[in-house]
Structure 1
């Protein structure tokens, strides 16, 4: 069961990460899947006009964070402890990138999330990431 509604998460995220305001949007958030969007603009592009690897990494990371927060509630100090990302193909020029994040395991102290990244409008993923988050110990 999710501990945030979509509207609550949309308010929470810029509160704890004001530096990413306007960069990402949540297209879907339910118990099965989180879909987040990198709203691509010039600051995210590499030479050749496609979204850069660091921008895609950021999308994968924040998607895993949001997917974890949705399940555990507001624990802002939950942090990335591991990320592995494979860049598989060049993103479509000028397209937003979508992250499809699924929490594979949620424990008391760790969350493991699988993220596939797609150029909007394409079927083949452009990258695959696996992320682990450390969850702070329960208070009390």
Structure 2
């Protein structure tokens, strides 16, 4: 699977990272993968036909521009790896966690967890503003974390 972008994925320029995420989803065997009109990649793994809640992972792929380049000990977009760390913008916010989400979602049903069919989106907080969740076809209220 591809694992590196050609350059920084600043806001509005995260297409390379989105392409990698979509490729990962396809390679991992997601049942449905699409890129919406905003450039967001949406993947779905179909669950059982029960009426339980949907498990929803949500992240972002853009990074904040690097400033004061002369003060960096590693190239901000270099993804330098040493014995203990990956150094660079996006390694912990949020590309690393997105990669973990993509794998965790695929491993969830493979490890005997009984996922349910899409019913309710799970969103991070009540005041979060976003486009409607594409995982849900029902008009049920979301579960708030």
With normalisation by structure 2, the TM-score equals 0.33
With normalisation by structure 1, the TM-score equals 0.34
Point out the structure with the larger helix share: 1
Structure whose alpha-carbon radius of gyration is higher: 2
Point out the structure with the larger strand share: 1
